[in-house]
C-alpha cells in the first residue's frame, strides 16, 4: 500500500475511534504533515466517497459521518466484479509468483483487465519495486514477463500477498471470491489442517492457521505450475538435532507431506516435511497440554517471558505478577522464538488498529523487544510480533482495573440478593461484592464501608443514597446485564 | 401432602387459580405460632415486598419473601402447582413453583445460613430445572436434601 493510501486509511481509522470533532492542527500533528496536506487529504476522501464523509464545522474541525462510513465500507467489501489498480496488480503479481520462474505472456496475463500498454508498463514498475523487497526481479523479455529469484523468497512473497487479504476466519477461504484460488486445493489443505489438529489433539488458532494454510497452498500450487524439481534448493539447513526436538510434530509433518504427495502424484523434496515442521513448531497451539500449564516451557522461554512481564510492569506501572498471565504470554513467546529462529513471519492484520488503539503500549513493547533481541541474541523482533505482544499487555491493563466495590441489597438480605450475588459474581468478575444486605441495614452499612461504588438492588430504594444504584430483577435478565455493563463503564470512566 | 421437616414444607398438588389463591394458601400453611393479628397482615407484607421489586427468580418460579418480627420461627414453603398459574401479574405468567421464604426477624445465624445455601442453589439453572421437572414429591425432596 502506498503511503498516501495509508494516510487516508489512518485518518479514517482515527476518526472512527474519535467520533468527535478534531481540528486540522491535531490531524496534521497526528499524520506528521502540514495543515495544507490535511485539507487536501480530507477533500480527496470526500471526493472519492459517495457524499460527504468528513463533515466540517467552523471552529470545531472535522467529524466523521459514522453511519455513512460504515455503510460505504460494507459496499466496498462486497464489490468483487471490478478491480482497483491495486487489486489488479496484486492478482497479476500472484499469478506470476505462483508460476515463477516460468514466463507468462503479457497479453494473456492482462486479458481480463482491459488496460492499455502504458498501464501495463506502470504496473511493471510498481510490481518491480514491491518484488525488490524480497530480492526478486521482474524480468521482461519481448512479450513475456517472469519473476526470478530464490524459492524461499518467492514463497515468502506469495505468503505475504495472501495474508494481505486479511482473512481471519479460515473457513472463509472456501468461498472467498477475491482469491484466484483453486477450490479443490483449498478444501484439501483445510482438510490437512484439520487432520493435523486432530492428530496432535490441539487447535491452531488464528493467525497461525492461516500461515500454515498459505504455506501448504503455495507448495501445492507451485508444484503443479512449475514441477517439483526446482525445490531441491535448500531453504534452510536441517540439523538432526532439531529434527529430534519434537518427534510427534515431525511425524505429523511427514505424514501431511505424504498426503500432499499422493494428492499431487509427485514426489516432493525431503526438505518439505521439515519446512512444515518449522511452521508447526512456530505456531501457537491450544489444547489440553498447553492451557494452564507451563511444564513444557524451556528456561529460555521462561526467562524471556519473565523479562517482558517485569519490564512492562515497570513501564506501565501495573502489576503483571500472575501465574495465568505468565502461562498465557509464555504460550505465545514459545512459538514466537521458533518463528524468529526459522525466520517465519506471521502477518498481523490488526497492526494498524493496534498501533492506533494502544499506541503507548505498542511503543513500550517495541522497546522491550529490542532489549530482548540484544540480551538473548535474537534477530530483530518485527512489527507484527510486537503487535501481537501488545495485545497481551493491553488485556492485562484492561483486566487490571481495580474491581468495583459493590453491595447487593434486598429486603431481607438473604432472599433474592443472595441469589443475585451468585449470578453477578459469575458474569461480572470486575465487581467485588463486599456484602449482601437488607435494606434496613443499608444505612449502617454505608457508614461502615465508605468506599462503596455501586449498589445493586432487587427492590426500589426509598431513601436517596449518594452512590450509583441499579435496580435489577432477581432473574438477572439479559437486559439487566446490559444495564449493569453500562453502569460499570460509566464508573470506570469517572475514575 | 405435607412434609414433617419443621424448617421447610413441600406442598404438592396445589390448586390455585389466582394470585389471591396463592396468598390464601400461604397464610393457611404459615406456622400457627406466628403473632400476626390476621392473615391479612402477612399477605399485606408480602404484597409490599412485591411492590418494591419483582419476585420472579426464573422462568416459572416465584420467590415471595419477607422478614418480620411477627413470625415466631423461620419457615420455607415450596408450593408445587399441578396446573401452571397462567397470570400472576401483568408481566409474570405461567408459574409452576412458588418458594416462600418467611424469615423471623433477627433469626439465628444457622437459619440464615441454610436459607443462603438454598439461594445459592437457586442461582443454578440446573437446580431450578430439576425442581420443576421432579415427577413426584420424593424426587423433589431428594433435590432438597442439602438444605
Cis preceding linkage at A356, omega within 30: no
**B139 located within any domain:** no
Q: A329: domain CATH number? A: 1.10.1790.10
* Residue closest to A281 by CA, chosen among A255, A242, A329, A308: A242
Helix axes A35-48 and A3-18, enclosed angle (nearest 10):
80
* Residue closest to A153 by CA, chosen among A169, A131, A126, A172: A131
pLDDT of residue A250: 87
In this structure, the answer to whether residues A240 and A307 fall within a common structural domain is no
**B2 located within any domain:** no
In this structure, the answer to whether residues A441 and A485 fall within a common structural domain is yes
Q: Is B116 on the interface with A (CB under 8 A)?
A: yes
Mention every residue, 6+ apart, whose C-beta is less than 8 A from residue B106: none
Report the residue of A444, A474, A478, A481 to disrupt the B interface, i.e. the one with the largest count of B CBs within 10 Å: A474
Residues in A whose CB is inside 8 Å of some CB of B read 410-416, 418-423, 426, 438, 457-460, 471, 473-475
pLDDT of residue A128: 93
**A291 located within any domain:** no
In this structure, the answer to whether residues A180 and A96 fall within a common structural domain is no
Place of cell 403473632: B35
**Domain termination site, one of A263, A285, A307:** A285
**A92 located within any domain:** yes
Q: Which residues of A348-370 are buried (b: 16+ CB within 10 A; e: fewer)?
A: bbbbeebbeebeebbebbbebbe
In this structure, the answer to whether residues A27 and A43 fall within a common structural domain is yes
Residue B57 has pLDDT above 90, yes or no: yes
In this structure, the answer to whether residues A66 and A86 fall within a common structural domain is no
Q: Which domain holds residue A434?
A: 404-494
Answer whether A340's CB lies under 8 Å from A381's CB.
yes
Q: Domain count of chain B? A: 1
Distances in whole angstroms, Cα of residue A294 to Cα of each of A4, A65, A133, A286, A290: 45, 48, 38, 13, 7
Q: A105: which strand partners? A: A144
In this structure, the answer to whether residues A281 and A206 fall within a common structural domain is yes
Sequence-ordered strand ranges (E) for A283-430: 286-287, 404-410
- d(CA A162, CA A346) in angstroms, rounded, equals 11
In this structure, the answer to whether residues A280 and A174 fall within a common structural domain is yes
Helix axes A24-31 and A35-48, enclosed angle (nearest 10):
100
The SS3 call for residue A258 is: helix
Q: Is B68 on the interface with A (CB under 8 A)?
A: no
**Chain Cα centroid distance, residue A377:** 26
Residue B85 has pLDDT above 90, yes or no: yes
Answer whether A220's CB lies under 8 Å from A188's CB.
yes
Enclosing H/E stretch for B133: helix B125-133
Q: Is B7 on the interface with A (CB under 8 A)?
A: no
In this structure, the answer to whether residues A186 and A279 fall within a common structural domain is yes
pLDDT of residue B2: 44
In this structure, the answer to whether residues A421 and A456 fall within a common structural domain is yes
pLDDT of residue A244: 52
Q: A437: which strand partners? A: A409
Q: Which pLDDT tens digit goes with each residue over B88-140? A: 988 888 999 999 999 888 888 889 888 988 998 998 888 999 999 998 888 99
**A163 located within any domain:** no
In this structure, the answer to whether residues A191 and A113 fall within a common structural domain is no
Q: Residue B103: how many CB atoms within 10 A of its CB?
A: 24
Question: To the nearest whole percent, how much of chain B has pLDDT over 90?
Answer: 37
**Domain termination site, one of A285, A307, A340:** A285
**A294 located within any domain:** no
C-alpha angle A247/A250/A254, rounded to 5°? 135
- Give the residue from chain A lying closest to B117, CA to CA: A418
Q: Domain count of chain A? A: 5
Q: A95: domain CATH number? A: 1.10.10.10
**B64 located within any domain:** yes
**B61 located within any domain:** yes
Q: What does residue A251 show for φ and ψ, rounded to 5 degrees?
A: -65, -45
**B19 located within any domain:** yes
- Give the residue from chain B lying closest to A427, CA to CA: B123
Q: B43: domain CATH number? A: 3.40.930.10
Residues 83-112 of B with CB under 8 A from A: 101, 103, 112
**Domain termination site, one of A369, A399, A429:** A399
In this structure, the answer to whether residues A358 and A462 fall within a common structural domain is no
Q: Which domain holds residue B78?
A: 8-107
Cis preceding linkage at B45, omega within 30: no
ipTM of predicted complex: 0.83
Residue B3 has pLDDT above 50, yes or no: no
Mention every residue, 6+ apart, whose C-beta is less than 8 A from residue A447: none
In this structure, the answer to whether residues A180 and A267 fall within a common structural domain is yes
Q: A452: domain CATH number? A: 3.40.50
**B51 located within any domain:** yes
Per-residue pLDDT of chain A (495 residues; tens, 9 = 90+): 445 656 777 788 778 777 678 888 888 888 888 888 888 888 888 877 767 888 888 778 888 887 777 666 544 444 443 677 877 888 888 888 888 888 888 888 888 787 888 888 889 999 999 899 889 999 988 889 999 988 878 888 887 776 655 555 666 666 655 556 677 787 888 889 888 988 888 888 877 888 888 888 888 888 877 776 655 555 555 555 555 557 888 889 999 999 999 888 888 888 888 889 888 888 887 764 544 444 568 889 999 999 999 999 888 777 777 777 888 888 889 889 988 887 777 777 778 878 887 888 899 999 999 999 999 998 899 998 999 899 888 877 776 667 889 999 888 788 888 889 998 988 888 888 988 888 878 778 778 888 889 999 988 887 777 888 999 988 888 889 889 988 887 887 676
**B76 located within any domain:** yes
* Residue closest to A280 by CA, chosen among A375, A232, A347, A344: A344
**B31 located within any domain:** yes
Answer whether A233's CB lies under 8 Å from A273's CB.
no
**Looking at CA atoms only, how far is residue B117 from chain A in angstroms?**
9
Alpha helices for A167-318 (secondary structure H): 183-200, 208-226, 240-245, 247-264, 271-281, 299-316
**A159 located within any domain:** no
The three three-digit cell numbers of residue A243, written as one number:
529434527
- d(CA A74, CA A186) in angstroms, rounded, equals 26
Amino acid at each position: 500500500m502506498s503511503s498516501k493510501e495509508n494516510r487516508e486509511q489512518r485518518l479514517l481509522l482515527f476518526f472512527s475511534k474519535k467520533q468527535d470533532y478534531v481540528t486540522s492542527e491535531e490531524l496534521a500533528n497526528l499524520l506528521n504533515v502540514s495543515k495544507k496536506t490535511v485539507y487536501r487529504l480530507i477533500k480527496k476522501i470526500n471526493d472519492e466517497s459517495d457524499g460527504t464523509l468528513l463533515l466540517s464545522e467552523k471552529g470545531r474541525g472535522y467529524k466523521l459521518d459514522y453511519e455513512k462510513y460504515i455503510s460505504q465500507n460494507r459496499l466496498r467489501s462486497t464489490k468483487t466484479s471490478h478491480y482497483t489498480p491495486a487489486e489488479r496488480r496484486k492478482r497479476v503479481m500472484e499469478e506470476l509468483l505462483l508460476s515463477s520462474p516460468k514466463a507468462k505472456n503479457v497479453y494473456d496475463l492482462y486479458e481480463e483487465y482491459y488496460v492499455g500498454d502504458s498501464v501495463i508498463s506502470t504496473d511493471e514498475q510498481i510490481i518491480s519495486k514491491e518484488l525488490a523487497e524480497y530480492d526478486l526481479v521482474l524480468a521482461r523479455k519481448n512479450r513475456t514477463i517472469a519473476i526470478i529469484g530464490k524459492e524461499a523468497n518467492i514463497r515468502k512473497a506469495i505468503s505475504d500477498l495472501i495474508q494481505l487479504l486479511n482473512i481471519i476466519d479460515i473457513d472463509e477461504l472456501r468461498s472467498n471470491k477475491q482469491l484466484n484460488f483453486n477450490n479443490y486445493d483449498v478444501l484439501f489443505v483445510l482438510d490437512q489442517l484439520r487432520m493435523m489438529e486432530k492428530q496432535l489433539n490441539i487447535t491452531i488458532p488464528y493467525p497461525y492457521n492461516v500461515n500454515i494454510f498459505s504455506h501448504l497452498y503455495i507448495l501445492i500450487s507451485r508444484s503443479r505450475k512449475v514441477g517439483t524439481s526446482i525445490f531441491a534448493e535448500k531453504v534452510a539447513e536441517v540439523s538432526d538435532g532439531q529434527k529430534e526436538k519434537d518427534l510427534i510434530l515431525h511425524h505429523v509433518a511427514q505424514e501431511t507431506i505424504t498426503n500432499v504427495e499422493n494428492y499431487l502424484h509427485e514426489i516432493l523434496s525431503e526438505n518439505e516435511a521439515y519446512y512444515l515442521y518449522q511452521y508447526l513448531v512456530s505456531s501457537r497451539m491450544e489444547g489440553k497440554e498447553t492451557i494452564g500449564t507451563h511444564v513444557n516451557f524451556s528456561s529460555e522461554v521462561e526467562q524471556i517471558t519473565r523479562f517482558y512481564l517485569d519490564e512492562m510492569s515497570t513501564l506501565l506501572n501495573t502489576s503483571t505478577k500472575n501465574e495465568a498471565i505468565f502461562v498465557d504470554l509464555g504460550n505465545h513467546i514459545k512459538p514466537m522464538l521458533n518463528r524468529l529462529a526459522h525466520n517465519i513471519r506471521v502477518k498481523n492484520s490488526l497492526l494498524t488498529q493496534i498501533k492506533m488503539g494502544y499506541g503507548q503500549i505498542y511503543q513500550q513493547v517495541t522497546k522491550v523487544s529490542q532489549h530482548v533481541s540484544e540480551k538473548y541474541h535474537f534477530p530483530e523482533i518485527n512489527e507484527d510480533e510486537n503487535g501481537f505482544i501488545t495485545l497481551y499487555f493491553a488485556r492485562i491493563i484492561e483486566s487490571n482495573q481495580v474491581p468495583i466495590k459493590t453491595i447487593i441489597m434486598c429486603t431481607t438480605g438473604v432472599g433474592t440478593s443472595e441469589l443475585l450475588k451468585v449470578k453477578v459474581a459469575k458474569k461480572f468478575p470486575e465487581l467485588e461484592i463486599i456484602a449482601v444486605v437488607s435494606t434496613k441495614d443499608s444505612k449502617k452499612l454505608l457508614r461502615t464501608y465508605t468506599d462503596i461504588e455501586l449498589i445493586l438492588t432487587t427492590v426500589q430504594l426509598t431513601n436517596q443514597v449518594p452512590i450509583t444504584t441499579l435496580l435489577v430483577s432477581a432473574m438477572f435478565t439479559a437486559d439487566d446485564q446490559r444495564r449493569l455493563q453500562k453502569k460499570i463503564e460509566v464508573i470506570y470512566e469517572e475514575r | 401432602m405435607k412434609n414433617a421437616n419443621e424448617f421447610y414444607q413441600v406442598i404438592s398438588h396445589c390448586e390455585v387459580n389466582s394470585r389471591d389463591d396463592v396468598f390464601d394458601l400461604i397464610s393457611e400453611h404459615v406456622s400457627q405460632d406466628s403473632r400476626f393479628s390476621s392473615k391479612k397482615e402477612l399477605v399485606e407484607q408480602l404484597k409490599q415486598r412485591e411492590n418494591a421489586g419483582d419476585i420472579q427468580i426464573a422462568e416459572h418460579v416465584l420467590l415471595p419473601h419477607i422478614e418480620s418480627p411477627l413470625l415466631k420461627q423461620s419457615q420455607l414453603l415450596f408450593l408445587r402447582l399441578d396446573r401452571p398459574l397462567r397470570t400472576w401479574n401483568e408481566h409474570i405468567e405461567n408459574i409452576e413453583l412458588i418458594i416462600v421464604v418467611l424469615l423471623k426477624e433477627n433469626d439465628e445465624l444457622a437459619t440464615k445460613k441454610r436459607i443462603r445455601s438454598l439461594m445459592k442453589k437457586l442461582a443454578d439453572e440446573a437446580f431450578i430445572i430439576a425442581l420443576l421437572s421432579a415427577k413426584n414429591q420424593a424426587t423433589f425432596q431428594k433435590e432438597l436434601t442439602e438444605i
